[in-house]
A and B are shown apart, each in its own frame.
Chain A
Amino acid sequence: MSNYFLFAILLLGFVITFQIAKASEYVGILKGEKKNNEQNNRINGFLMIVFLVLGLIGVYWCNELFKGKILGKSASAQGEKIDQMLYITIAICGVVFLITQILLFWFSFKYQYSEKRKSFYFPHNNKLEVIWTVVPAIALTVLVGFGLMYWFQITGEAPKDAMVVEITGKQFGWIYRYPGKDGVFGNKYYKSISDGQNNQLGLLWDDPKSHDDIVVSQTMYAIVNQPLKMIINSRDVIHDVGIVEFRMKMDAVPGTPTTMWFTPLFTTEQKKISSGNPDFEYEISCDQICGRGHYTMKGIIKVVTAEEFVLWRAKQVPNYVQVMKDKMPAAGPADSVKTAAVRIESPSKLVAAAGKE
């Protein structure tokens, strides 16, 4: 019902506009074309300056309204560089934006038709044209210079002490793998993947290095102030690991592993307090369209202290052990509990070990 009502209102509005438009055309003819054009010209010239003023107020207002809702402080050292670059770019582009838009609308208003004015025949001027070729070129050189400096810092090799985690996208979720105590990932092959047999990544059990690999879903853990290197994979289509708080993003491409690294600066707990949001989490969003569940493809990174990380990892059962437990109930769990016990004995040493991974 309300749809028809809305439709009727729309139609009515249409008809009224149309009648006014038609009437004004007749009035225009009565007034004479010249006079009518001059009047239209004055109205639109005035609206040009109104648009400029309201537009600039709107830009300012919009900025006031939203500046608290965007960005915030970057939670990674790399993100700080990206923010720095953003501010440099906003400054330069902002100046250009203001100058050009003001000139555009001001000229439109100022040089609107007048019977007295003769337009100025000004086909070209080499000096002016050289100026506005060179000045933008210099401004862009500055931007390229800063941009590439940060770009190479961010995309360069990860530091030696970075913790390495493998992250694999699938429709529609994330799987994480830690290399276990040997610090090395075991081999895997996609044809061995079997969700039913609890081998989400297709680890090859005949490779002993895979036996201590820890595989978890949904939530991963990282250590604050320690570089985190992600090796990014996909099981099916292209996904993208995007973590807005860290300002980081990298595609997950099936068949071609990619990497990115960054250093988290705050633990999740610290962020909960500083953001005033008790539900705060570092969310991994999929940023490359991957099918019907794209918008729900969420992962969580818990950034914790080194001690908390060691405790968390000690509780994890390697994928191999989980699988073997189903087959041979005795061997696996005991082994893993022993490992955990050993680890808790000397946390400081283990933090260093964790770092090497």
Chain B
Amino acid sequence: MSTDLTIHGPGELIETHDVHNADHEVHHHKDTFITKYVFSQDHKMICKQFLITGMIWAILGGLMSVLFRLQLGYPDSTFPILEDILGKWAKGGKLSPEGYYALVTMHGTVLVFFVLTGGLSGTFANFLIPLQIGARDMASPFLNMLSYWFFFSASVVILTSLFIETGPASGGWTSYPPLSALGDASLGSKAGMDYWITGMALFVVSSLLGGLNYITTILNMRTKGMSMTRLPLTIWALFFTAVLGVLSFPVLLSGLILLLFDRHAGTSFYLSDIFIASTQKALPNEGGSPILFQHLFWFLGHPEVYIIILPAMGLVSEVMAINSRKPIFGYMAMIGSLFAITVLAFLVWAHHMFVTGLNPFLGSVFVLLTLLIAVPSAIKVFNWLTTLWRGNIRFTPAMLFAIAFVSTFISGGLTGVFLGNSTLDIHLHDTLFIIAHFHIVMGVSAFLGMFCGVYHWFPKMYGRYMNNTMSYIHFWVTFAGAYLIFWPMHYEGLAGMPRRYMDYSGWTSFNQFGDLNRFISTVAMIVFAVQLMFVFNFFYSIFKGRKVTTQNPWQANTLEWTTPIRPGHGNWPGEIPEVHRWAYDYGKDGKDFILQTEPLGADEQHH
């Protein structure tokens, strides 16, 4: 249907559409429930599908962390409720090691891939790309729909793996072989690992279909006058995100296929010199290298963290400019730094491998490249600060999350300077310091960016507002809670406490933080409860929220606010508007804001 729209072009649309109706619908095509809500090809509906699936995953992934935080906070206690939830994995209310490692692994997989990649990019790329560049839909709405359904089937496979007898994958979200290759070495490496590989393969397909679509749409379907340098930064960020995904996910897939061969076809890509104690057998495999997998994994794995953070940066830049009533400072530098981050993201992967026996000289090259990436990151931070400077700031919930994003991005970015330096990495590698680092810079920041986006574009998605009071409570508890959880965790890391331990009490070197672990667990539970409140606010507001009555509630410049309050499939009832200026003319020449569609004045300066 939407392919019709793009093929026939705007001329025909005017004939077939009622331009006066704000709640415009496409009349020549009757939508059934299935085509409108399930197998929809409307980018706005696909966005909501990604968002809601992502939210379900976020609740599950968050709940997993609450369960294993119970173990970490109270290693000596039993919780009957754990047995109610987890059954044999927590007999007598005490988490088994297999159960603990399964939870840790799934928490990581779910949040990194299904929430912060699928949920974040899937939601906002789908929603914002056509609306902000002035297109009626994606280049291929059909592939776009497939992208969601591959994501959905990946979700089904991973969810199923939680319920199989030997449990889901439990070798960490990185799934390093030989542990992940040998069912005899770990329970989770039996069938659970096959489910994990299958789920990830489907996820990669979803991500590639989506990414190719996003790139094509941004390059080819911008409306008249929308040159690349007039695009809002959201679109630039989503563009680079898609490029990163398209170039790096296939490498992960190839690595996983080799792993599958090692598991079932007797190959030795990753296996060599292995004697399994549980079966008292030496394996026939010789000559493989488990380090090869790490290279393949991190060739995706590092770009992956930028796939997560770039969309958040884009959302934050946009929301910050709108609510400071000022142009984003250094628009070209922002694009340049996004570009630099994208290029460097492919050149730093081995900093995850400083202590694998990597040649020290090679290590030093990766130190240099890794710390280089701090420069574009610093430029972005200073540009955000300057955007706030002398603005006229409105603290909408979205704006609060945007400011908080900058704060956590600074904190987490600076600890990255510690870890990227191989000398310090010797001590800090695989400790709770790295857990604190990436949760703040990638987990918390990306979540804050995502909340920022949800609060800001909720009125466009559903034609209603979310409840402000609940939003403010959600914000302050989440923001403060994130620091309370992860700031002290750096100290545990400095003390050398290894990650992925389920109990530290048997160690004289690491048992001094019992109280702190309890504190962190308690805060984590409170923060989780408040996220449930957000979810409630979200769904309640879809149906009962205060109605949006103006077309442009935030007084923003970008094109999505020129559509009707509840746009139909095709987005603009009449012709797609023409663009005459960049997206950031706020406070220019005494005017509060100037829509992108407004022609330049006679003597007006181009930015």
What per-residue 1/0 map shows which CB atoms of A76-89 lie under 8 Å from chain B? 00010110011001
Whether a CB of chain A sits under 8 angstroms from the CB of B435 is no
Whether a CB of chain B sits under 8 angstroms from the CB of A40 is yes
Indicate if the CB atoms of A86 and B392 lie closer than 8 Å: no
CB neighbours (8 Å) of B414 from chain A are: 93, 96-97
Nearest CB on B from A65, distance (A): 8
Nearest CB on A from B471, distance (A): 9
Greatest chain B CB density within 10 A among A62, A190, A289, A293 is at A289
A contacts with B, residue count (CB < 8 A) = 124
Nearest CB on B from A249, distance (A): 5
CB neighbours (8 Å) of B5 from chain A are: none
State in angstroms the CA–CA spacing of A92 and B400 once bound together: 28
**With contact pairs A117-B392, A190-B275, A293-B97 given, residues A140 and B472 touching in the complex (Cβ less than 8 Å):** no
CB neighbours (8 Å) of A194 from chain B are: 280
CB neighbours (8 Å) of A137 from chain B are: 375
Nearest CB on A from B392, distance (A): 4
Indicate if the CB atoms of B357 and A104 lie closer than 8 Å: no
**With contact pairs A47-B476, A101-B410, A107-B385 given, residues A289 and B533 touching in the complex (Cβ less than 8 Å):** no
Whether a CB of chain A sits under 8 angstroms from the CB of B164 is no
Whether a CB of chain B sits under 8 angstroms from the CB of A302 is no
What per-residue 1/0 map shows which CB atoms of A102-126 lie under 8 Å from chain B? 0111011001111001111111110
CB neighbours (8 Å) of B504 from chain A are: 295
Indicate if the CB atoms of B289 and A255 lie closer than 8 Å: yes
Whether a CB of chain B sits under 8 angstroms from the CB of A298 is yes
What per-residue 1/0 map shows which CB atoms of B395-423 lie under 8 Å from chain A? 10000100100110011001101100111
Nearest CB on A from B565, distance (A): 17
What per-residue 1/0 map shows which CB atoms of A237-267 lie under 8 Å from chain B? 1101010110111110111111100000000
Which of B137-145, B302-310, B425-433 is the contact stretch?
B425-433
Whether a CB of chain B sits under 8 angstroms from the CB of A312 is no
Contact pick for B506, options A14, A51, A248, A296, CB 8 Å: A296
State in angstroms the CA–CA spacing of A98 and B516 once bound together: 24
State in angstroms the CA–CA spacing of A247 and B428 once bound together: 8
What per-residue 1/0 map shows which CB atoms of B342-382 lie under 8 Å from chain A? 00000000000001110010011001100110110011011
CB neighbours (8 Å) of B480 from chain A are: 51
Indicate if the CB atoms of B508 and A283 lie closer than 8 Å: yes
Interface band, chain B: 35 or more
Nearest CB on A from B44, distance (A): 26
Nearest CB on B from A40, distance (A): 7
Q: Which residue of A lies closest to B427 (CB)?
A: A247
Nearest CB on A from B549, distance (A): 10
State in angstroms the CA–CA spacing of A69 and B432 once bound together: 15
Contact pick for B418, options A22, A89, A120, A151, CB 8 Å: A89
Indicate if the CB atoms of B325 and A123 lie closer than 8 Å: no
Indicate if the CB atoms of B374 and A136 lie closer than 8 Å: yes
Contact pick for A291, options B185, B291, B472, B501, CB 8 Å: B185
**With contact pairs A37-B394, A147-B367 given, residues A81 and B423 touching in the complex (Cβ less than 8 Å):** yes
Indicate if the CB atoms of B421 and A89 lie closer than 8 Å: yes
What per-residue 1/0 map shows which CB atoms of A212-242 lie under 8 Å from chain B? 0000000000000000000010011110101
Indicate if the CB atoms of A171 and B509 lie closer than 8 Å: no
Nearest CB on A from B107, distance (A): 13
Nearest CB on B from A254, distance (A): 5
Whether a CB of chain B sits under 8 angstroms from the CB of A100 is yes
Chain A residues 279 to 331 lying within 8 A of chain B, measured CB to CB, are 279-281, 283, 285-296, 298
Which of B172-180, B196-204, B454-462, B566-574 is the contact stretch?
B172-180
Indicate if the CB atoms of A251 and B357 lie closer than 8 Å: yes
Contact pick for A237, options B178, B289, B379, B383, CB 8 Å: B178
Whether a CB of chain A sits under 8 angstroms from the CB of B601 is no
Contact pick for B356, options A47, A122, A140, A253, CB 8 Å: A253
Chain B residues 284 to 338 lying within 8 A of chain A, measured CB to CB, are 286-291, 324-333
Whether a CB of chain B sits under 8 angstroms from the CB of A30 is no
State in angstroms the CA–CA spacing of A137 and B379 once bound together: 10
Chain B residues 521 to 566 lying within 8 A of chain A, measured CB to CB, are 529, 532-533, 536-537, 546
CB neighbours (8 Å) of B410 from chain A are: 96-97, 100-101, 104
Whether a CB of chain A sits under 8 angstroms from the CB of B17 is no
What per-residue 1/0 map shows which CB atoms of B263-274 lie under 8 Å from chain A? 000000001111
State in angstroms the CA–CA spacing of A137 and B388 once bound together: 24
Nearest CB on B from A125, distance (A): 8
Whether a CB of chain A sits under 8 angstroms from the CB of B587 is yes
Q: Which residue of B lies closest to A117 (CB)?
A: B392
**With contact pairs A119-B391, A119-B587, A254-B274 given, residues A154 and B423 touching in the complex (Cβ less than 8 Å):** yes
**With contact pairs A44-B472, A147-B422, A254-B273 given, residues A119 and B325 touching in the complex (Cβ less than 8 Å):** yes
Indicate if the CB atoms of B101 and A254 lie closer than 8 Å: no
CB neighbours (8 Å) of B487 from chain A are: 58-59, 62
Q: Which residue of B lies closest to A279 (CB)?
A: B508
**With contact pairs A62-B488, A285-B509 given, residues A111 and B391 touching in the complex (Cβ less than 8 Å):** yes
Whether a CB of chain A sits under 8 angstroms from the CB of B228 is no
State in angstroms the CA–CA spacing of A177 and B155 once bound together: 47
State in angstroms the CA–CA spacing of A258 and B415 once bound together: 27
State in angstroms the CA–CA spacing of A245 and B496 once bound together: 9
State in angstroms the CA–CA spacing of A21 and B473 once bound together: 10
Q: Which residue of A lies closest to B430 (CB)?
A: A287
State in angstroms the CA–CA spacing of A350 and B208 once bound together: 65
Whether a CB of chain B sits under 8 angstroms from the CB of A170 is yes
What per-residue 1/0 map shows which CB atoms of A7-48 lie under 8 Å from chain B? 000100010011011101100110000000100110011011
**With contact pairs A117-B392, A255-B288 given, residues A122 and B367 touching in the complex (Cβ less than 8 Å):** no
Nearest CB on A from B497, distance (A): 8
State in angstroms the CA–CA spacing of A25 and B537 once bound together: 13
Chain B residues 48 to 88 lying within 8 A of chain A, measured CB to CB, are 80-81
Indicate if the CB atoms of A151 and B423 lie closer than 8 Å: yes
Contact pick for A123, options B278, B329, B590, CB 8 Å: B329
Chain A residues 52 to 73 lying within 8 A of chain B, measured CB to CB, are 55, 58-59, 62, 66, 69-71
Indicate if the CB atoms of A190 and B274 lie closer than 8 Å: yes
**With contact pairs A25-B467, A144-B421 given, residues A41 and B326 touching in the complex (Cβ less than 8 Å):** no
Q: Which residue of A lies closest to B97 (CB)?
A: A292
Chain A residues 192 to 224 lying within 8 A of chain B, measured CB to CB, are 193-196, 202
Whether a CB of chain B sits under 8 angstroms from the CB of A273 is no
Indicate if the CB atoms of B385 and A103 lie closer than 8 Å: yes
What per-residue 1/0 map shows which CB atoms of B227-255 lie under 8 Å from chain A? 00000000000000000000000000000
Q: Which 3 A-B pairs have the closest CB atoms?
A: A255-B272, A244-B496, A258-B357
Interface contacts beyond A21-B468, A118-B590, A288-B176: sample of 13 additional A-B pairs, CB < 8 Å, sorted by A: A41-B395, A55-B483, A119-B391, A123-B331, A129-B333, A140-B374, A148-B367, A155-B360, A194-B280, A235-B277, A237-B179, A244-B427, A257-B357
What are 8 of the A-B contact pairs (CB < 8 Å)? A24-B468, A111-B393, A122-B329, A125-B330, A143-B421, A237-B179, A237-B186, A295-B504
